[in-house]
Structure 1
Amino acid sequence: MAGGSVGNASSSGSHSVVRVVVAGDRGTGKSSLIASAASESFPENVPPVLPPTRLPADFFPDRIPVTLIDTSSSLENRAKLNEELKRADAVVLTYACDQPLTLSRLNTHWLHELRRLEVKVPVVVVGCKLDLREERDTMNLEQVMSPIMQKFREIETCIECSAANLIQVPEVFYYAQKAVLHPTGPLFDQENQCLRDRCRRALRRIFILCDHDLDGALNDAELNEFQVKCFNAPLQPAEIVGVKRVVHEKVPAGVNQLGLTLTGFLYLHALFIEKGRIETTWAVLRKFGYDDDLKLRDDFLPVPSKRASDQSVELTSEAVEFLTGVFRLFDTDNDEVLQPSELDELFCTAPESPWYEAPYKDAAERTDRGEVSLNGFLSQWALMTSLDPQLSLANLVYIGYGGDPNSALRVTRKRSIDRKKQRTERNVFQCFVFGPKSAEKSSVLNTLLGRPFFKNNSTTGDRYAVNVVDQLGGSKKIVILREIPEDGVKKFLNNKEFLAACDVAIFVYDSSDEKSWKKSKDLLLEVARHGEESSYGVPCLLIAAKDDLDPHPVAVNDSVKVSQKLGIEDPIPLSKNIFSRIISAAEHPHLSIPETETGRNRKQYRHLVNQSLIFVSIGAAVAVAGLAAYRAYAARRSSSS
């Protein structure tokens, strides 16, 4: 793996042009540096501040144009300087080699100023006027800059140049451009001198993809294929031998009798970066679809973008079959569950495990030791696919989904069409759980997960629970419960399309508490009105919680009356099998949709208007036919006379 230069713009990240701002004390040679780079000669007369200067795309190997921004350090131009620094992709800080004070000013002023302005871009420190430094004034640049670079990690490199003698002038802006297009920060921890975790994970995935025979090593043919894919040039046999020798000398475990191991592969990339050839590693990462954040680019993830708000996204049977196989593969002890360590190993080629944060953390069924069953595993994927299809598809690809990415996800039919056809083809149902705080809505989520309590790690107040529910006849459906905070309902209902993502709305109340029932009833009526006004009416179910306590007579009687008046099912005790009832309501989306008095009047009015329009259209048709008959009769009379 000899590496190579990046040959096209698509391999250089998302930048179409790199904006480099040149700053520093007055008289340090900023303008002369820019003018010399642009003209490749030393101009005699340079204005105090140059206008923006563009270096063409073919100026550097990456073929990305660079715009150089000159600045003034005077107090009256401070606002303009700050504005330019905040728009920079990279900053070149200059000092004059013949003025030592300007070098110390970088440490005491300029670098602190960049941090104050929160300018978080690569910095290249440049000593100008190298030709004016006295010969006896020798300075070890590395020795002087090392402690400064330790303090200010944003400094990518230091270089000294002479605009008058054209010494290392293009290199200044090459390093600045390189720092933007091939940043060190995401790949390498300078302090600990090692690859960052996300970089290791990406390279590990690439190694596995290139290890076609899955023997844990890249043989000569696989190494050569990798080299051609990334750099469009094969390795000579002597080069392969040389690469292996270098690796074996430093890390013996990096090479075995089969070829280059993962340890050796990672060592080589760390070596490239340490030797200043970070563009080699970036070329590899970008060839395999990674962006500057070491995540797969959008063009590698064909997620269906055109879908209505009442359509959802599910995994296809092909993707579910793949995930089932992955579960079996990583269940190394065959105990029918994945331990946390096995889950970590499964996601070791992803940027990170996607299930450690809300809303996924604790949303699926797990044992006390954090183990996940196959049902819990597939449920978690269903939840991620429903909430964030792109994240789900990306993680499928990270863990080795080899099929066409287009075949992994499917968009469901619109809920409005499901209602007309009176059936649905969905396998995953998302249900919103409403109710007052006193009703203990979380008990419904607990029941789905088989837990005595529910952990809430969400900072937004929303909670999710998801699980597979077995149906009569052996079919399986996945139910996602989303708990809606009582104090957030009004905010949610301000969004006209809030209910579009909901298959069934569940209203929980404490059957032993009249106040709890009244609050839940108010929420039900509010949601019903919203559904009628937004045309996103959804099946609604009432769930009577705490049914082991003495029921309150008003809650019992009034809840039945309200159900009948709205045209929905009678309340269901939580102790019953509520999830089969939930699935039944979701599978028959035309039923159990509450109808308020206002909704009925509106519906009756539309019916009358439609009837009137039909009557008018029939009357108009009769009139037109009569007129035509009269004209025919008049024409016959005229011809006979």
Structure 2
Amino acid sequence: MAGGDGPTGMRARCQVVVIGDPGTGKSSLIVAVATDSFPEKVPPVLPPTRLPHDFYPDRVPLTIVDTSSRHEDRLKLETEVKKADAIVLTYACDQPQTLERLSSHWLPELRQFEIKVPVIVVGCKLDLRDDQQPTLEQVMAPLMHEFREIETCIECSSIKQIQIAEVFYYAQKAILHPTAPLFDQETQTLRPRCVRALKRIFILCDHDRDGALSDSELNNFQVKCFNAPLQPSEVVGVKKVVSEKMAEGVNENGLTLTGFLFLHALFIERGRLETTWTVLRKFGYDDEIKLRDDLLLNPTFKRTPDQSVELTENAVEFLKRVFTSFDVDGDGALRTQELDELFSTAPSSPWEDSTYRNSVETNVVGGITLNGFLSQWAFMTRVQPQKSLAHLIYIGYPGDPASAFRITRQRRQDRNRQRSQRAVLQCFVFGPTNVGKSALLNALIGRPYNEAYEHTKGDHYTTNIVDQIGGSKKTLIMREINEETVSSLLGRRDALADCDVAAFVYDSSDATSWKCAVDLLLDVAAHGERCGFEVPCLVVAAKDDLEPDPTCIKSSIRVCTDMGVEAPISVSMKLGDIGNLFRRIVDAAQRPHLSIPETEAGKTNKNYHRLIQRSLTIAAVGATVAVAGIALYRVYHVRKQQSGSS
């Protein structure tokens, strides 16, 4: 897009590209609007023309780009329209064939270019139009029905200066106050995202939380958005208009949400889109009806790769209150309908992505439990902190958004201090195919074991709160790493920066499976040593219900001893025998210095550094002794001279 958004969501500039058949009056139209005159001669293609910021009421400068219609200039045309904020598509009122070309050539070509901006269809040379021709409405109705990207249609005359300025006014209006994000022309209803934003705005303005905007609240809203109060007679008039159309739009307390939404639909139907857009922008929304990016640039999110973002106690307590208030039936879980209502003031639910699907604890009917709800927020904050910030704002977090987040200490410092203070810990789960990694993740959230094997595609996460000895609680995120994606993961230097602990799962009845798990352990350990992001590791012997392979038992004990990690933890997902595995994973992450594996190369490197350090120490001691000896000799020599002279 050509124009960037300003701090209030309004674009800093607009760019309109004019296209159409040769001889339809493109260049004359541009000259006429810029100079208030009709040019006798114009070049084939004009250079970009800029209208100043005070040309139209919105005070946003407008750049108009002329184009060539020649086939050999098609590539340049494509380049220009892809940079446009709006398209002015011309035809000549006295040349019916140019009108037919709109549907047979130009509009399909814009679709082929995948242009998503509004189109203003302009009939030029109105002064030459035959009075016997069909009216503009008759001609354009079927065209606008087929091509919904057409924002409006207008006829003009450059030589007569008829509706020239209006052409680009409508183009700029379509850019600054577009219809499509707000209103569905086909159903004649507000779009869902618009409804959600207006609902949030209504709730923010309903200070006494009685479900209606009183006269005072309505006036405060008017002042905030339009810098002008409503007169008492105007307030009465607004409520009268609403109540005449829908009785439920007004009650004894004032204007209801239903009435508030009706008013905006009415503004849009009457062409007053700027009213609704002004309201949205005053409350921080951009052209996509989501919070502007500059409102989500939280400086507290600046961190090194091995630091993470967590919710503060303030944020967690707020979320607990939100959970309780939306748990309408009081069953200790949020059903789909309750969760939808909770996020009804956000553009959509933040957990629709596959990343979050089936990742938390639910009850028997699929409702998210409180543990699941808090875990999901902790997970989202860890992997997408800006998304977490945005949705806290959407659902009404009352304080400074910065107070909802904290940055953890670097993992490197945690190792040095031999303790992690993190409340949210992430475990990467490695292992060959069909060893039970997915079953392990599902066990974290209480999901029953499934005998049927299904290969995991893409990222698979689960998260839950784990109770620790002593009563403390930690949120554990488990991320399954497919065997085939390990090499690409470890191709990044900071691949393990976000990993607090790694688990390596193998089939205890299969020696081949164990060998593969060892190779993965060695690869991860070597990567950590090489890049400075060493992670504590645990080995998990899965399928303990099967006959163990003796080779696995002997080899696993030797490898774990050599690398300095705990002996394998035996589990059986099928039997539900996982013991205190998740607590042990959390313990390993909390005491990161105890379970970091060492490769032979790492040991050699460490011994080399020890040898160098010892040599430097010996050299330093030797140098100190030598300096001390020289000093003593000098003292002795001076005293000897003094005794000789006396």
TM-score (normalised: structure 1): 0.94
CA distance in 2: counterparts of 1:633 and 1:573, whole angstroms? 73
- Could you give the per-residue CA deviations for residues 129-180 of structure 1, whole angstroms, max 9, x where no partner exists? 222224x335421121011000001100011112222221111111111111
Residue in 1 that maps onto 2:28: 32
CA distance in 2: counterparts of 1:126 and 1:461, whole angstroms? 48
Find the residue that maps to 2:533 and give its secondary structure.
coil
Change in Cα spacing, 1:515 to 1:163, as seen in structure 2 (3 Å) is: same
Q: How do 1:257-406 and structure 2 match up within 5 A?
A: 257-303=252-298, 304-406=300-402
Residue in 1 that maps onto 2:167: 172
AA aligned to 1:329 is: S
Query: How far is 1:195 from its partner?
Result: 0.7
Find the residue that maps to 2:181 and give its secondary structure.
coil
Query: How far is 1:515 from its partner?
Result: 1.6
Match of 2:435 among 431, 436, 439: 439
Residue in 1 that maps onto 2:145: 150
Match of 2:227 among 226, 232, 237: 232
Change in Cα spacing, 1:284 to 1:629, as seen in structure 2 (3 Å) is: farther
Residue in 1 that maps onto 2:64: 68
Alpha carbons 2:305, 2:498 under 8 Å: kept: yes
Establish whether residue 250 from structure 1 lines up as the match of residue 245 from structure 2.
yes
Change in Cα spacing, 1:630 to 1:473, as seen in structure 2 (3 Å) is: closer
AA aligned to 2:119 is: V
CA distance in 2: counterparts of 1:190 and 1:96, whole angstroms? 27
Query: How far is 1:633 from its partner?
Result: 10
CA distance in 1: counterparts of 2:631 and 2:296, whole angstroms? 63
AA aligned to 1:556 is: I
CA distance in 1: counterparts of 2:587 and 2:570, whole angstroms? 16
Alpha carbons 2:301, 2:385 under 8 Å: kept: no
Alpha carbons 2:336, 2:367 under 8 Å: kept: yes
Deviates more, 1:72-81 or 1:53-62: 72-81
Residue in 1 that maps onto 2:206: 211
Residue in 2 that maps onto 1:80: 76
Establish whether residue 412 from structure 1 lines up as the match of residue 415 from structure 2.
no
Residue in 1 that maps onto 2:125: 129
Establish whether residue 584 from structure 1 lines up as the match of residue 587 from structure 2.
yes
Establish whether residue 593 from structure 1 lines up as the match of residue 590 from structure 2.
no
Find the residue that maps to 2:466 and give its secondary structure.
strand
Query: How far is 1:45 from its partner?
Result: 3.0
Matched pairs, number:
633
Alpha carbons 1:361, 1:457 under 8 Å: kept: no
Deviates more, 1:192-201 or 1:173-182: 173-182
Query: How far is 1:15 from its partner?
Result: 3.2
Establish whether residue 493 from structure 1 lines up as the match of residue 496 from structure 2.
no
Match of 1:161 among 141, 156, 162: 156
Deviates more, 1:508-517 or 1:614-623: 614-623
Residue in 1 that maps onto 2:477: 480
Gaps of 5+ in 2: 572-577
CA distance in 2: counterparts of 1:474 and 1:425, whole angstroms? 15
Change in Cα spacing, 1:547 to 1:48, as seen in structure 2 (3 Å) is: same
Residue in 1 that maps onto 2:48: 52
CA distance in 2: counterparts of 1:628 and 1:276, whole angstroms? 96
Find the residue that maps to 1:59 and give its secondary structure.
coil
Change in Cα spacing, 1:12 to 1:41, as seen in structure 2 (3 Å) is: farther
Alpha carbons 1:128, 1:161 under 8 Å: kept: yes
Query: How far is 1:62 from its partner?
Result: 1.9
CA distance in 2: counterparts of 1:174 and 1:631, whole angstroms? 95
AA aligned to 1:279 is: E
Percent of paired sites with the same residue = 62
Query: How far is 1:279 from its partner?
Result: 1.5
CA distance in 1: counterparts of 2:453 and 2:31, whole angstroms? 60
CA distance in 1: counterparts of 2:510 and 2:74, whole angstroms? 67
CA distance in 2: counterparts of 1:75 and 1:558, whole angstroms? 72
Deviates more, 1:250-259 or 1:322-331: 250-259
CA distance in 2: counterparts of 1:72 and 1:297, whole angstroms? 36
Match of 1:609 among 599, 608, 612: 612
AA aligned to 1:569 is: E
AA aligned to 1:590 is: H
Find the residue that maps to 2:562 and give its secondary structure.
helix
Alpha carbons 2:333, 2:369 under 8 Å: kept: yes
Query: How far is 1:233 from its partner?
Result: 0.9
AA aligned to 1:335 is: D
CA distance in 2: counterparts of 1:276 and 1:330, whole angstroms? 37
Query: How far is 1:403 from its partner?
Result: 0.9
CA distance in 2: counterparts of 1:269 and 1:160, whole angstroms? 29
Query: How far is 1:24 from its partner?
Result: 0.9
Find the residue that maps to 1:430 and give its secondary structure.
strand
Query: How far is 1:373 from its partner?
Result: 1.1
Alpha carbons 1:29, 1:96 under 8 Å: kept: yes
CA distance in 1: counterparts of 2:36 and 2:621, whole angstroms? 85
Find the residue that maps to 2:496 and give its secondary structure.
helix
Alpha carbons 1:301, 1:405 under 8 Å: kept: no
Find the residue that maps to 2:497 and give its secondary structure.
helix
CA RMSD in angstroms comes to 2.5
Query: How far is 1:245 from its partner?
Result: 1.4
Alpha carbons 2:431, 2:520 under 8 Å: kept: yes
Find the residue that maps to 1:91 and give its secondary structure.
strand
- Could you give the per-residue CA deviations for residues 62-102 of structure 1, whole angstroms, max 9, x where no partner exists? 22211111112123333322222222211101112222222
Residue in 2 that maps onto 1:4: none
- Could you give the per-residue CA deviations for residues 537-593 of structure 1, whole angstroms, max 9, x where no partner exists? 111001111112222111112111111111111111223210111111111111110
AA aligned to 1:592 is: S
CA distance in 2: counterparts of 1:83 and 1:59, whole angstroms? 27
Change in Cα spacing, 1:631 to 1:35, as seen in structure 2 (3 Å) is: farther
CA distance in 1: counterparts of 2:378 and 2:453, whole angstroms? 20
Find the residue that maps to 2:420 and give its secondary structure.
coil
AA aligned to 1:580 is: R
- Could you give the per-residue CA deviations for residues 369-405 of structure 1, whole angstroms, max 9, x where no partner exists? 2111111111111111111001111111111111110
Query: How far is 1:638 from its partner?
Result: 12
Find the residue that maps to 1:502 and give its secondary structure.
coil
CA distance in 2: counterparts of 1:223 and 1:621, whole angstroms? 83
Query: How far is 1:634 from its partner?
Result: 10
AA aligned to 1:605 is: Y
CA distance in 1: counterparts of 2:347 and 2:170, whole angstroms? 28
Deviates more, 1:383-392 or 1:514-523: 514-523
Query: How far is 1:46 from its partner?
Result: 2.3
TM-score (normalised: structure 2): 0.93
Find the residue that maps to 1:124 and give its secondary structure.
strand
Alpha carbons 1:32, 1:42 under 8 Å: kept: yes
- Could you give the per-residue CA deviations for residues 223-248 of structure 1, whole angstroms, max 9, x where no partner exists? 11111111111111111111111111
Find the residue that maps to 1:438 and give its secondary structure.
coil
AA aligned to 1:217 is: A
CA distance in 2: counterparts of 1:422 and 1:586, whole angstroms? 10
CA distance in 2: counterparts of 1:76 and 1:335, whole angstroms? 68
AA aligned to 1:604 is: N
Change in Cα spacing, 1:301 to 1:86, as seen in structure 2 (3 Å) is: closer
Change in Cα spacing, 1:613 to 1:166, as seen in structure 2 (3 Å) is: farther
CA distance in 2: counterparts of 1:20 and 1:223, whole angstroms? 37
- Could you give the per-residue CA deviations for residues 299-338 of structure 1, whole angstroms, max 9, x where no partner exists? 2224333201111111100000000001111111211111
